[in-house]
Structure 1
Amino acid sequence: MTQQQEKMSAFMDGETESSEIMDAILQDEALQVKWKRYHVIRSGLRKEATVAPQIDITAAVAAALEDEPVVVAPKTSRWRKLPVVGNVVPFAKQGGQFAVAASVAVAVILGVQQMNKPEPAEPFSTFETRTQLGGLAPVSLEQTRTLPRNDMNIMLEKKRKINAIIADHEQQVQLKQAEEQSRSVDESVESNVNSN
C-alpha cells in the first residue's frame, strides 16, 4: 500500500483528521476511485446497502475481445486422413443408431404386451393341503386381503360386537369378585359372632 492509501484508510477509519489527504483525493482521480471502492467495501462489511458499486467492465471486455485471434476455418476431422477408418466410423455410427432404434422398439412391444395381458382373478394362486383331521385347507401366499366397502361395514360391526362381549365379560368378572369379597366378609363376620 502506498503512503497515500494508508492515510486515506486511516482517515476513513477516523484515526486521523488530516485535511491534506482530502486535498490529495480531490486532485488525484486514482485516489477518488479508491475512495469510492473503500466506501463500497465498508458498506458491504457493515451490511449497509446504501452505496451501490458502479462497476463498468464493458471497456475491459471489449479490449480483451479485440486481442483474441479470429478463427475462420473449421477444424478438419482426423478420421478423414485415414482412408479405411474414415469409411468405418460412419458405418459404426449408423449401426449404433439401428441398435438404439431396435431397443426402443422391443421395449414398446413388451410394454404393450404387458399392458394388454389379462389380470388374474386372484393375486396369488392357492393350494390345498390336508389338515391333521384329514380335511382340506387352502394355503396362499397372500398376506393381507383387501375387503370391499360393504365387507368393511360387516367387519366393523363384528368388531363392535366382540368389544361389547369383552366389556360385558369384564363387568361380570368384577361383579363376581365383588360378590366373593362380600361373601368372605359375611363369613368372617358370622365366624366372629359365633365365636363370641
Structure 2
Amino acid sequence: MTQQQEKLSAFMDGEIEGNDIIDAIKHDEALQAKWKRYHVYRGAMRKEATVAPQLDITASVAAALENEPAIVAPKASRWRSIPVLGSVVPFAKQSGQFAVAASVAVAVILGVQQFNQPAPTEPFMTAPTAGPQGGLAPVSLEQTRAIPRNDMNEVLEKKRKINALIADHEQQIKLKQAQESSDVEDENESLPRPE
C-alpha cells in the first residue's frame, strides 16, 4: 500500500486530520476511486443501504470475449432446417416406437386374459331368492366350477404366435437402429474434412 493510500485509510478511520489528504484526493483519480470504494465497504459493513456500489464490468467482459476462441457448431440436420418438421420428426420417431411397444403389450395382456377365461357352458343364472324373509344369504369367494384345461394345444399355439410377434418387433427395432446409424455415418462422410 502506498503512503497516500495509508493516509486515506487512516483519514477514513478518523485517526488523522489534515487538509493535505483532502487536496490529494481532489487531484488524484486513483485516490478518488479508493475513497468511493472505502465508503461502499464501510456502508456494507454497517449494513447501510445509502451507498450503492456502481460496478462497470462491460469493458473487461468485452475484452475477454474478444480473446475467446471461436467455436464452430456442427452441421445441423436437414430436418432441423425446416422449422416445423425440425422438432416434429424426432418426436414422431420416438412416439412411433412407443406406440409399437404399447400395442404389443396390449396384445399380450388381452391374449393372456382371453386364455384364462373359462368357456361359457351355461347361460347366466340368477341366485335363488327363496329363503327367510329379511335374512342375509351367506357369501363365499370359492369358485364352484373348474376351468377346463383340455385345450392346451390351442394355448401353446397362441403363445408361440405372441412370442413370434415380440421377436419380430425386437428385430425391426434393431434394423431401424442400424439404418439410423448408417445414415449418420453417411452424413458424416459427406461433410468436408478439415485439413
What TM-score comes out, normalization by structure 2 length?
0.40
> Which structure would you say has the larger RCO, counting Cα contacts within 8 Å and 6 or more residues apart?
2
| Structure with more of its chain in helix, by fraction | 1
Greater share of residues in strand? 1
TM-score of the superposition, structure 1-length normalised? 0.40
